[in-house]
Every structure is written in C-alpha cells, then in structure tokens.
Amino acid sequence: QPRAIYIHMEAKFARAAARDDLRQRRTAAAQLSWTGTAIRFALPLPLAAAFFFRAVDGLIFEPALNEAGLPPHALLGLIMATWVSLSLLSVSRPSVALALAATALGTLKQRVDGGVLKPPAVSPTAPVVALVTGASSGIGREVAAELARQGHTVVMGCRSAARCSAARVEILARLDVPGSRLVIPPDAALDLARLSTAARFASATGEATGGAAIELLVLNAGFVPLGSGGSGRSGESGLEEGLYAMYYGHQALVRGLASLHLLGPSATAVVVSSDAMRFGGFDGSLETGSGEGDLAGEVTAGCALPGPLPCAPLCWPAAAPGVSNLVESPLVPATGWSFGAYARAKLSGVLLAKEMLARGLVARSTSVHPGVVNTAIQRRDRDLPTTLAALPPLSLPVSIAEWEELLPSVGARLTDALERYALPLFMRDAATAAAVVLRAAVGPTHPTGRAAELGVHYFNGMGEAVGDASLTLRDEARLERLSGRLWELADAAREARAEKGGSGE
C-alpha cells in the first residue's frame, strides 16, 4: 500500500512537472514570438520614419503638388497613411515593408535632393562680390565654397575669427582656388548678438574689398535658442537672443553696408529662413509702446523643453493667448500657441527680406527654406552638458558633472555614429542646402501670388518660388504693420547701442 501511494504521488508530481514545463515552454515561446514580432516591426521603422520626416519636410508645401489640387493638409494625410501602412506591414511582412520603405525613401530623396544637387551659376557673365554670414560652418561655408569655385569674391562673416580662418583653409585646400576669392575682414569678427560689431564689420568689409559693391548678400547665420526667461536673453540687450541675433543683428549689418554705399544697385539679398517660420507668431504687445511684453522672451522663449524630436528646433506648443501666426499651416492654429523662439526668429527673417526690398536697399530680396539640414544648428551648436544645464529641473539619471566625464568616451562615439549613419537618412547635407540657397538667389525675379505682391518672396526646399497654393498669409494688414514695426525697433536698438558707445559688450 505505501508503495502504491508513492507511485501514485510520483506520477502526480511528474504530471505537474510536465504541465509546468509545458507552461514554461509556452511562456518562452510566447516571449520569443513577441520578441520576434518586435524585431520584425522595428527593422523597417528607421526607414519608414525617415520617409515620413523627409516627406513632411519636402512635399507638403511643394507648389507643383499644391497647385495640382493636393493642398498641404491632404498631402500630410497621405504621408501619414503611407507611414502607418508601412509600420503595420512590418509586423506580418517585414522584408516587404523594409523593401517598400527603402524604395519610398530612395525615390523621395531623389525627388527632393536629386534635382538640386547641381548649384546654379551666379552671375555667369562676370564675377561679383558676395557676403555670407555664418560662413565658418554648415550651409554658410558651403555657399561660400561654391561661390568661390564659380570665381566670385566672398566676404566671410563669422562670429569666431579662428573658426573662420579654419573654414577658409579647408575650402581653399578642397577646391584649389586662389586665396583672394575668400576674404576675412581683419580684426572684425561678426557677432550678431552685438550690434556694434555689425557696423565695424561693414566698415572692415569696405576696406578689405577696396569699396567694391556687394551684389549678393546671403544672411545665413542662425542658431537654435535655448532656455526661457533670463537664460534665453542676449547679454547685450536683455532681449530674447534668437530674435535679437537673427533679426536685429542682420538688420544692423544691412544698415551698416547701406550707409557706406556698399550694396550695389542690382544687389540681391537672400535670407536663410526655414519652414519653421510657418509655426512662428508674434505677441500683440509688439504693436504697442516700445514693443515690451514679449521681446525679452516673456511669452516666446527658446526651447526650454526638448521639441517633438530630439534634434528639432521647434518646442512643444505652449499656450500663449496673445500670439497669432501670420502664415496658414495645416499644423498650426491661427492664435493662442507659441512654438518657441526659433520659429519666431525664422519668421522675422521673412519679414527682414520683405522690408529690405520695400525700403529700396536691394534690387531683389528673398527668403528660403533650405530643408532640414545636418548641421550644427540641428545639434544646437552646444555641447550636451550645456544643453542639459539649460533645461529645467528634470529627473536626469546622472548629474551634469557626470555627463562631462561620460561624454569623451560614450557621447562622442554615439554622436559620431548618429551623424554618420542615422542623420543622413533624415536630413540633407549642407552642400545640397547651399545649392537650394543659390537657386533662390538666381530664381524668378518676381514670384507670382498674393504674398509676392506684398513683397514676400519665399522659396521652398527645392529652390522653387512658392505661390498662393503653398504660402497663404493669414492677416495681410498685420504682416505689413509688423514688418515695419520690427525694422523700426531694430533701428532704435542700434541707435541706442551707438549712443552708449557699444558699452556692455
């Protein structure tokens, strides 16, 4: 009897162990299945995400598509539907999804980048003198290089004399052109956050070029403003740093060149803006008093929080009841939201181009979206510890000091890998963007459409002039008021700095 009981219990334990083993095997199989599904799902995702990112940037405001009856919001819907379909297909047919995503991305890159790879000839009949700001890196350096290659004389405007000299050496070595084609005015760094340097740079430019008239002015310098409140203000003025440098600084440079009669009678100005300007808006306080209320970043601050993408210059929208946008966009409400200082600064660049033309300072003036470009501006032109220090208190896994210790070994390798393999999928290179900028420089003298009639000549990321189907203004009267208002405030700031003798720099 005891032995029978033992045998019974042994069999019972064996059956239980078998059930447990089966349950464990089923659990393991389920986990393996989920893991496999996740891997299959993830494989095409980078290419699908890159397709979505590049398509939104390159297609939704393309004139040919918009004028053919596909407005921006319809194109955005089609792009989103394609992206979702590729993502869902990757679960069941990952190889098919991967092939389709690669084909779609390759076709798109050829369409939006392939057609602008060859820069146009600027003044093919005779060399001209050009001035390029932000010429030490990124788009500015490639614009300067291409103009020098074509035989023109280029005045390089840079904040750092050392970086400017290094860029000049690199360009000369790469192109094997005479050094006289790239001019750096001596002892005159151009720091757009200090208005007095703009006047000195203009004067030094005249001396360095022998008073030759500038026929092409490329206002390219820019950055992504960080911080909010005091952390995002210019040390010279107390105003919000993005608007101050990218609008006030460039306006002071143009004024300085004009006062010295260095802008030729047929001069062309190109302001490197961005489609981020479609998210830009101005607070109503700009139209009253001396503009107090938002100029110091009280409402429109830099990106104190990361944007929708880790490298994106746009902020998450913040409620701002007094802010209204000037340009129609399927993604942006007309009033009540701010997308940060970068969007406003790029919108101000469009107004700067308009106002230069309206005041007769140049014969032709345009603004251009160069596309989303893999340059230092996308990396905020700052090291990671500084970026983290500018963020509000967050639950960071390590301290800033620890980041500084980790970065040399980990951050540098990660950054290099991202720049080498990932970012080229999502962004175009600076040389392609430079070709777009030069296309805008030699494009149609008078783009068609209501915006062009008001002096807003804007070119998209393929160097095409956009018309009413791709650029619709929400409030024409307000645009006219703000365009003149910003210019007047910049004049007042420049004169105030001159009276103080540039103190506080």
* Residues 89, 201 within the same domain: no
| pLDDT confidence of residue 396 | 45
Could you say which DSSP state residue 304 is in? S
Helical ranges in 330-475 per DSSP H: 341-358, 384-390, 400-406, 412-417, 423-426, 430-442, 450-453
213 and 65 within one domain: no
Count up the domains in the chain and report the number: 2
The predicted pLDDT at position 261 comes to: 95
Residues 211 and 149 in one domain: yes
Helix 72-92 with 94-112: angle, nearest 10 deg? 150
**134 falls within a domain:** yes
| Rg, Å, the chain Cα set | 27
- At residue 164, what is the residue type? C
CA dist 472 and 476 (Å) reads 10
Nearest one of 25, 50, 85, 57 to 423, comparing CA atoms: 50
Residue 350 lies in a domain: yes
Query: Does 339 lie in the same domain as 250?
Result: yes
Q: How many CB atoms lie within 10 A of CB 267?
A: 24
CA distance 139 to 436: 10
Q: Are residues 338 and 445 in the same domain?
A: yes
Q: What is the C-alpha to C-alpha distance for residues 307 and 303, in angstroms, rounded to an integer?
A: 7
Whether 480 and 358 share a structural domain = yes
Same domain, 367 and 468: yes
Cα 289 from chain centroid (whole Å): 32
Compute the distance between CA of residue 311 and CA of residue 378 in angstroms, rounded to an integer: 5
Q: Is residue 7 part of a domain?
A: yes
Q: Are residues 145 and 100 in the same domain?
A: no
Q: Is residue 413 part of a domain?
A: no
Sort residue 128 into left (φ over 0), alpha (ψ -120 to 50) or beta.
beta
Task: Quote the pLDDT of residue 431.
Answer: 92
Query: Rounded to whole angstroms, how far apart are CA atoms 108 and 110?
Result: 5
Phi, psi (rounded to 5 degrees) for 332: -125, 125
Spacing of C-alpha 261 from chain mean position: 32
Domain assignment of residue 124, yes or no:
no
Dist. CA 483–CA 293, nearest whole Å: 18
Residue 462: closest CA among 76, 118, 145, 217: 118
Identify the burial level of 438 via C-beta atoms within 10 angstroms of its C-beta, where 0-12 means exposed, 13-18 middle and 19 or more buried.
buried
Residues whose CB falls within 8 Å of the CB of residue 251, separated by 6 or more in sequence, listed in order: 352, 487, 490, 491, 494
In a domain, residue 393? The reply is no
Per-residue pLDDT of the chain (505 residues; tens, 9 = 90+): 556 665 666 676 666 666 666 676 666 666 556 666 666 667 777 888 888 888 888 888 888 888 888 888 899 899 999 988 888 888 778 888 889 988 988 888 888 887 667 888 898 788 999 999 999 999 999 999 999 999 999 999 999 999 999 999 999 999 988 988 999 998 878 999 899 899 999 999 999 999 999 999 999 999 888 755 445 666 677 888 889 999 999 999 999 999 999 999 999 999 999 998 998 889 888 887 777 788 888 888 776 444 444 445 667 777 888 888 888 887 777 788 888 888 999 999 999 999 999 999 999 999 999 998 887 665 444 444 444 444 444 444 545 455 455 555 555 666 666 667 777 888 888 999 999 999 999 987 556 678 888 888 999 988 888 888 888 888 889 999 999 999 999 999 888 887 776 443 3
Same domain, 47 and 171: no
Same domain, 83 and 155: no
Are 104 and 169 in the same domain? no
Query: Distance between CA 100 and CA 439 in Å, rounded?
Result: 32
- For residue 60, tell me if it sits in a domain: yes
Both 34 and 62 in one domain: the answer is: yes
- CATH code for the domain in which residue 274 is found: 3.40.50.720
**Residue 170, pLDDT score:** 95
Which residue among 93, 115, 137 closes a domain? 115
Is residue 249 domain-resident?
Answer: yes
Which among 196, 202, 368 has a CA at the least distance from the CA of 275? 368
| Residue where a domain terminates, one of 115, 149, 171 | 115
- Domain range for 258: 129-378+432-499
